[in-house]
């Protein structure tokens, strides 16, 4: 294939070439960065919470009136819930992973330590807590019923025993066995002894830097007259149990309000609603952009074919085959696209740099751009195929006609 | 002449329906993407109270630990302690001032057909109403005396009054919350707030507050905030220790009517903190802030990063659509060289040819704008579906409708300038020869 005639023809319609090139360049820059953002969001959404999400649900109960006894109510509720058919395990808790609201504390190795060694969230649960969450105990033991203390909201946190996640254990005691070690949740003694380690349980906050730093504390701590329950059902019986719970608890006590029942799947959906929306919106932008660019190439190529009908006829009359004409337009498109892509590569990195500086996003990995090259080359070839085929069907006789 | 060129333009567009459709759809899509994101960004970030946003200031004091700052970048905490809030309220140095926090309470309706329910409201001083100016339907705010007297009074939001009293004038009646009767002194009318800018500590796009009650009365009842609470050291056990602690859980706003008043208040805050330092509090260097409404909204990133990135990408997309249109117009106009040559030969000036083709681009832009407007409506519908919390900010208003159409026409005319200029350079003689 002779490139020189194509290049010299291109030089005669520089503006059209630049227009298509600019379009391809911007498309590459936007698509690479948008795909990268989508990829990050999907990775973010795929992180495991470490708890059973399919068979669990939670709800709050808030009593009112001076005669209301929150502790007695908790005891009754736990008994009622535990005996319901289909319920596998139930615990009180102050919060659950991904819920967005929770209790954060610093963890220290010494009393009065100036800066905490690391941050953790606190899950205040009873002896059934770990089993209800579905967090996997990988070392040590679970809480015993007698270790579950009666606490008041606002009390200083000095539990004798705690269970932490592997992430906390690694951070506090790197390379050591954390079981039996002591840590401080408040500035003064007594310290808390780590009696168990769970594999993984996320914090309530999805954007936390220490998302797997969680600590289980055994205790009942109603917030005023309010408490929250987490229920794990036997596999597949969640919805059936939810319907029963709604009925049963509303009958049980008239001086309280049962909050909306939410499944852990609802909690996850809400936690990642923003990431999902961002992915969908960027996905839509990518599709629209590729469509517009492809249609633009079709439009320009059709115009060129129409403009050069006579020249094509002449070439055909002078012996060029249909294939030669087809190749001509395909090669021309390839050259323009490549030129656009080279500019686009620079733009893509510039865009990424702007995102890094303004939003602390990570650098665009290098392989996005070459993949983008391949995709846009393919798109260009696909878009030019129709007009190029039309060009190859121009009969040689056109050359002899006037206009 | 304008209407004749308009006719010519329409006819020319009808002659190449596919090319025209490509251009109109291109502009429409580009406009829709950029206007959808721009509307959300504009409504999220726009000044919620333009006539006095520079007079309302959010008080931040840095009572955090000597060893760690509240935010990693050194900004002071986003809330204040109870003791500082009360000290500032008692000093009363600002033109208006209110400490406030979020409170959830069980409501026990008189009407036994309604089940008790939980309601989110706000605890504040009467100046809250003077500062943020919610519209009243019945009655009005409680008085300064009622603040001082710790009286159990309440202002209901419109929806709450609708629910409890069927929208009737309920002033003077009572509402039972957590077994205590509060006398209703006022009922709000529809308060159209895009963002709940007066409390950004739990996100800006939460549901509106359903009731308001005096700060002093709520503290008497030992009501803890339902919002955020942060402590850098244990508060100690019990309610009194909590009130005395360095935990931050209260938002504090002041109204300062002039720059001079602002400067005075700043120096008052500095001297207050210096006094407190003598008592052994405030171990950090002086770091008070008095951001106004817009500064505070920017500080708390009310316009989320996602929305900013989306808007940036959408405008880049619009640029691609316009480049596309330039190319297509160029193709179209070049094809008409013969026609242009004929018109020029018959005496039309370059200027006339220029305006004819520019009008044709304008027609493309207008059609693209109308299509874009319809698609923007759909886009905003999608945004509302994707982000449930943005329902107050994903709406078209008249300004944005006007901006949409104007942006479409202006950008397509701009896109038409180069192709038109090229078209005008046609030499009549060259085109007429065969």
CA atoms of A157 and A150, how far apart (whole Å): 12
Q: Is B430 on the interface with A (CB under 8 A)?
A: no
Q: How far is CA A222 from CA A192, A256, B193, B214, B341, in A?
A: 21, 14, 34, 25, 87
Beta strands in A293-393 (DSSP E): none
CA atoms of B269 and B247, how far apart (whole Å): 19
Indicate yes or no: CB of B29 within 8 angstroms of CB of A288.
Answer: yes
Take residue B114 and report the two structure tokens written for it: 């309604």
CA atoms of B60 and B251, how far apart (whole Å): 9
Indicate yes or no: CB of A257 within 8 angstroms of CB of B386.
Answer: no
Region B257-278: what's the mean pLDDT?
95
Indicate yes or no: CB of B330 within 8 angstroms of CB of A15.
Answer: yes
Region A339-367: what's the mean pLDDT?
90
CA atoms of A97 and A212, how far apart (whole Å): 10
Indicate yes or no: CB of B317 within 8 angstroms of CB of A19.
Answer: no
Among A244-258, B58-72, B180-194, which is the least confidently predicted range? A244-258
What kind and span of H or E run contains A63? strand A56-63
Region A278-306: what's the mean pLDDT?
89
Of B33, B115, B178, the CB nearest to A64: B178
**Dihedral pair phi/psi, residue A281, rounded to 5°:** -65, -45
The answer to whether the CB of B125 falls within 8 A of the CB of B99 is: yes
Indicate yes or no: CB of B324 within 8 angstroms of CB of A22.
Answer: no
Looking at chain A, the number of H-run helices and the number of E-run strands are 11, 13
Indicate yes or no: CB of A15 within 8 angstroms of CB of B418.
Answer: yes
What kind and span of H or E run contains A294? helix A273-307
Indicate yes or no: CB of A296 within 8 angstroms of CB of B305.
Answer: no
pLDDT at B43 over 60: yes
Which residues on adjacent β-strands are paired with residue B121?
B103
* pLDDT for the residue B44: 84
The answer to whether the CB of A316 falls within 8 A of the CB of A325 is: yes
* pLDDT for the residue B248: 94
CA atoms of A25 and A346, how far apart (whole Å): 9
User: Which of the residues B331, B341, B418, B431 would you substitute to probe the A interface, choosing the one with the greatest number of A C-beta atoms within 10 Å?
Assistant: B331
Q: Looking at chain A, how many residues does it have?
A: 403
Take residue A173 and report the two structure tokens written for it: 């005691």
pLDDT at A162 over 70: yes
Take residue A95 and report the two structure tokens written for it: 């919060």
Check residue B395 and report its DSSP letter: -
Q: How far is CA B78 from CA A109, A119, B228, B296, in A?
A: 29, 19, 10, 10
Q: Which residues of A touch B314 (CB under 8 A)?
A: 285
Among A28-32, A121-125, B234-238, which is the least confidently predicted range? B234-238
Q: Which residues of B touch A310 (CB under 8 A)?
A: none
What kind and span of H or E run contains B32? helix B17-45
pLDDT at B278 over 90: yes
pLDDT at B144 over 60: yes
Q: Select the more confidently predicted residue: B346 or A166.
A: A166
The answer to whether the CB of B160 falls within 8 A of the CB of B186 is: no
A112: left (phi over 0), alpha (psi -120 to 50) or beta: left
CA atoms of B35 and B43, how far apart (whole Å): 12
Question: What is the ipTM score, two decimals?
Answer: 0.84
Of A26, A274, A303, the CB nearest to B320: A26
Take residue A39 and report the two structure tokens written for it: 């990829």
CA atoms of A143 and A136, how far apart (whole Å): 13
Nearest-Å Rg of the Cα atoms of chain A is 33
* Confidence band of B218 (pLDDT split at 50, 70, 90): very high
CA atoms of A278 and B144, how far apart (whole Å): 47
Indicate yes or no: CB of A274 within 8 angstroms of CB of B106.
Answer: no
Q: How many CB atoms lie within 10 A of CB A68?
A: 18
User: Which of the residues B82, B306, B381, B389 would you substitute to probe the A interface, choosing the one with the greatest number of A C-beta atoms within 10 Å?
Assistant: B306
User: Which of the residues B323, B376, B386 would you substitute to probe the A interface, choosing the one with the greatest number of A C-beta atoms within 10 Å?
Assistant: B323
- Measured between CA atoms, the residue of chain A closest to residue B223 is A224
pLDDT at B78 over 70: yes
Which residues on adjacent β-strands are paired with residue A87?
A233
* pLDDT for the residue B157: 95
Q: Which residues of B touch A188 (CB under 8 A)?
A: 234
pLDDT at B41 over 60: yes
Q: Is B22 on the interface with A (CB under 8 A)?
A: yes
Q: How many CB atoms lie within 10 A of CB B15?
A: 11
CA atoms of A364 and A350, how far apart (whole Å): 10
Indicate yes or no: CB of B29 within 8 angstroms of CB of A292.
Answer: yes
Q: Percentage of chain B surpassing pLDDT 90?
A: 46
* pLDDT for the residue A253: 65
Residues of B174-210 as b/e, b for ≥16 C-beta within 10 angstroms? Answer: ebbbbebebebbbbbeeeebbbbbbbbbeebbeebbb
* Confidence band of B432 (pLDDT split at 50, 70, 90): low
Region A261-278: what's the mean pLDDT?
93
CA distance A354 to chain B (A): 11
CA distance B53 to chain A (A): 26
Q: Where are the alpha helices (DSSP H) in B279-427?
A: 293-299, 305-335, 337-345, 350-386, 398-424
Take residue B307 and report the two structure tokens written for it: 């929305």
* Confidence band of B270 (pLDDT split at 50, 70, 90): very high
Which residues on adjacent β-strands are paired with residue B123?
B101, B213
Q: What residue ranges do the domains of chain B occupy?
A: 2-47+304-432, 62-287
Reduced to 3 DSSP states, what percent helix, strand and coil does chain B have, rounded to the nearest 5?
A: 50, 15, 35
Q: Which residues of A touch B22 (CB under 8 A)?
A: 295-296, 299
Longest Cα separation, chain B: 100
Full-model pTM? 0.87
The answer to whether the CB of B57 falls within 8 A of the CB of B292 is: yes
Among A256-260, B114-118, B202-206, which is the least confidently predicted range? B202-206
Beta strands in B82-214 (DSSP E): 96-108, 117-124, 136-139, 153-156, 174-177, 180-188, 211-214
Region B260-270: what's the mean pLDDT?
95
* Confidence band of A361 (pLDDT split at 50, 70, 90): confident
pLDDT at B134 over 90: yes
- Measured between CA atoms, the residue of chain A closest to residue B241 is A154
**Dihedral pair phi/psi, residue B121, rounded to 5°:** -135, -165
- Give the residue carrying structure tokens 């001032």: B97
Indicate yes or no: CB of A154 within 8 angstroms of CB of B242.
Answer: yes
The answer to whether the CB of B310 falls within 8 A of the CB of B304 is: no
Check residue A117 and report its DSSP letter: S
Residues of A131-165 as b/e, b for ≥16 C-beta within 10 angstroms? Answer: bbbbbeeebbebbeeebbbebeebbebbbebbbbb
Task: Count A/B contacts: CB-CB distance under 8 Å.
Answer: 144
Is there a cis peptide before residue A89, judged by omega within 30 degrees of 0? no
* pLDDT for the residue A1: 58
Indicate yes or no: CB of B335 within 8 angstroms of CB of A188.
Answer: no
Region A330-352: what's the mean pLDDT?
93
* pLDDT for the residue B336: 79
CA atoms of B139 and B186, how far apart (whole Å): 4
Relative to beta strand B289-292, strand B56-60 is antiparallel
Work out the angle at residue A281's Cα, subtended by the Cα atoms of residues A373 and B45, and round it to the nearest 5 degrees.
Answer: 120
CA atoms of A388 and A304, how far apart (whole Å): 10
Which residues on adjacent β-strands are paired with residue A58?
A230, A262
The answer to whether the CB of B108 falls within 8 A of the CB of B177 is: yes
Indicate yes or no: CB of B237 within 8 angstroms of CB of A155.
Answer: yes
Q: Is A353 on the interface with B (CB under 8 A)?
A: no
Relative to beta strand B289-292, strand B251-255 is unpaired
Mean pLDDT of chain B, nearest integer? 89
pLDDT at A112 over 90: no
- Measured between CA atoms, the residue of chain A closest to residue B431 is A403
Which residues on adjacent β-strands are paired with residue A140?
A196
pLDDT at A50 over 60: yes
pLDDT at B401 over 80: yes
Take residue A333 and report the two structure tokens written for it: 């498109």
Nearest to A50 by CA among A190, A143, A168: A168
CA atoms of B369 and B27, how far apart (whole Å): 7
What kind and span of H or E run contains A182? strand A182-183
Indicate yes or no: CB of B320 within 8 angstroms of CB of A292.
Answer: yes
Q: Is B314 on the interface with A (CB under 8 A)?
A: yes
Q: Which of 46-75 (B) contact A at CB < 8 A?
A: 67-68
Region B91-95: what's the mean pLDDT?
95
CA atoms of A186 and A154, how far apart (whole Å): 12
* pLDDT for the residue B365: 86
User: Which of the residues B205, B244, B313 would you substitute to probe the A interface, choosing the one with the greatest number of A C-beta atoms within 10 Å?
Assistant: B313
Q: Is B433 on the interface with A (CB under 8 A)?
A: no
* pLDDT for the residue A402: 58
Q: Which residues of A touch B320 (CB under 8 A)?
A: 23, 26-27, 30, 289, 292-293
Q: Which of 136-165 (A) contact B at CB < 8 A?
A: 152-157
Q: Percentage of chain A surpassing pLDDT 90?
A: 62
Q: Which of 230-269 (B) contact A at CB < 8 A?
A: 233-239, 242
Q: Looking at chain B, how many residues does it have?
A: 434
Indicate yes or no: CB of B313 within 8 angstroms of CB of A296.
Answer: no
């Amino acid at each position: 294939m002779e490139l020189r005639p194509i290049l010299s023809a291109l030089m005669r319609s520089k503006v059209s070439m630049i227009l298509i090139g600019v379009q391809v360049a911007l498309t590459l820059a936007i698509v690479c960065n948008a795909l990268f953002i989508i990829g990050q969001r999907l990775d973010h959404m795929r992180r495991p919470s470490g708890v059973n999400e399919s068979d669990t649900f939670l709800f709050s109960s808030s009593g009112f009136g001076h005669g209301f006894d929150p502790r007695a109510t908790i005891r009754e509720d736990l008994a009622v819930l535990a005996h319901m058919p289909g319920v596998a395990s139930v615990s009180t808790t102050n919060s659950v992973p991904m819920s967005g609201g929770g209790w954060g504390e610093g963890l220290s190795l010494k009393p009065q330590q100036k800066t905490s060694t690391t941050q953790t969230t606190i899950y205040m649960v009873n002896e059934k807590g770990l089993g209800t969450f579905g967090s996997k105990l990988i070392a040590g033991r679970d809480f015993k019923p007698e270790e579950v203390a009666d606490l008041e909201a606002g009390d200083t946190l000095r539990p004798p025993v705690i269970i932490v996640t592997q992430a906390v254990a690694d951070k506090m005691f790197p390379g050591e066995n954390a079981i039996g070690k002591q840590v401080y949740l408040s500035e003064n003694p007594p310290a808390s002894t780590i009696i168990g380690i769970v594999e993984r349980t996320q914090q309530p906050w999805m954007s936390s830097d220490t998302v797997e730093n969680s600590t289980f504390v055994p205790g009942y701590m109603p917030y005023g007259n309010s408490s929250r329950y987490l229920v794990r059902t036997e596999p597949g019986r969640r919805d059936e149990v939810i319907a029963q719970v709604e009925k049963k608890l509303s009958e049980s006590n008239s001086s309280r309000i049962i909050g909306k029942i939410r499944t852990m799947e609802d909690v996850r959906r809400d936690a990642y609603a923003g990431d999902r929306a961002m992915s969908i919106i960027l996905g839509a932008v990518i599709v629209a952009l590729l469509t517009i660019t492809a249609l633009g190439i079709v439009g320009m190529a059709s115009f060129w074919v129409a403009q050069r009908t006579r020249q094509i006829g002449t070439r055909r009359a002078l012996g060029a085959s249909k294939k030669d004409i087809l190749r001509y337009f395909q090669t021309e498109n390839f050259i323009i696209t490549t030129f656009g892509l080279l500019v686009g590569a620079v733009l893509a990195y510039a865009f990424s740099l702007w995102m890094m500086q303004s939003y602390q996003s990570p650098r665009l990995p290098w392989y996005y751009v070459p993949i983008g090259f391949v995709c846009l080359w393919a798109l260009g070839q696909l878009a030019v195929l129709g007009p190029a085929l039309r060009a190859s069907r121009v009969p040689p006789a056109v050359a002899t006609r006037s206009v | 002449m304008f209407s004749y060129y308009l006719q010519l333009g329409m006819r020319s567009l009808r002659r190449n329906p596919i090319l025209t459709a490509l251009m109109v759809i291109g502009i429409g899509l580009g406009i829709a993407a950029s206007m959808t994101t721009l509307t959300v960004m504009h409504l999220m970030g726009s000044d919620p109270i333009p006539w006095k946003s520079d007079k309302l200031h959010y008080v931040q004091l840095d009572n955090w630990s000597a060893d760690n700052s509240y935010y990693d970048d050194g900004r002071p905490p986003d809330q204040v302690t109870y003791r500082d809030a009360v000290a500032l309220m008692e000093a009363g140095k600002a033109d208006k001032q209110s400490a406030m926090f979020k409170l959830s309470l069980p409501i026990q309706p008189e009407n036994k057909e309604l089940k008790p329910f939980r309601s989110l409201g706000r605890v504040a001083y009467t100046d809250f109403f003077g500062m943020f100016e919610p519209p009243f339907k019945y009655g009005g705010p409680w008085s300064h005396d009622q603040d001082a007297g710790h009286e159990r009074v309440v202002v209901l939001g419109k929806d709450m009054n609708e629910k409890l009293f069927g929208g009737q004038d309920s002033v003077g009646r009572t509402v039972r919350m957590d077994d205590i009767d509060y006398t209703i002194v006022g009922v709000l009318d529809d308060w159209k707030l895009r963002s709940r800018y007066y409390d950004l500590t739990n996100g800006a796009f939460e549901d509106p507050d359903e009731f308001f009650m005096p700060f002093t009365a709520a503290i008497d009842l030992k009501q803890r905030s339902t919002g955020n609470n942060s402590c850098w050291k244990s508060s100690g056990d019990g309610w009194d220790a909590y009130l005395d602690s360095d935990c931050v859980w209260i938002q504090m706003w002041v109204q300062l009517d002039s720059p001079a008043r602002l400067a005075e208040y700043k120096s008052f805050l500095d001297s207050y903190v210096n006094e407190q330092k003598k008592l052994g509090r405030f171990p950090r260097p002086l770091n008070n802030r008095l951001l106004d409404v817009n500064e505070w909204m920017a500080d708390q990133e009310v316009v989320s990063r996602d929305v900013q990135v989306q808007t940036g990408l959408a405008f880049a997309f619009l640029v691609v659509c316009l480049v596309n249109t330039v190319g297509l117009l160029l193709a179209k106009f070049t094809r008409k060289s013969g026609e242009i040559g004929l018109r020029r030969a018959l005496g039309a000036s370059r200027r006339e040819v220029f305006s004819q083709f520019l009008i044709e681009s304008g027609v493309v832009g207008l059609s693209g704008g109308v299509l874009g407007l319809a698609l923007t409506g759909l886009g905003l519908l999608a945004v509302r579906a994707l982000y449930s919390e943005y329902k107050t900010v994903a709406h078209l208003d008249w300004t944005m409708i006007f901006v949409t159409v104007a942006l479409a026409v202006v950008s397509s005319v701009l896109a038409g300038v180069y192709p038109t200029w090229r078209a005008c350079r046609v030499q009549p003689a060259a085109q007429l020869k065969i």
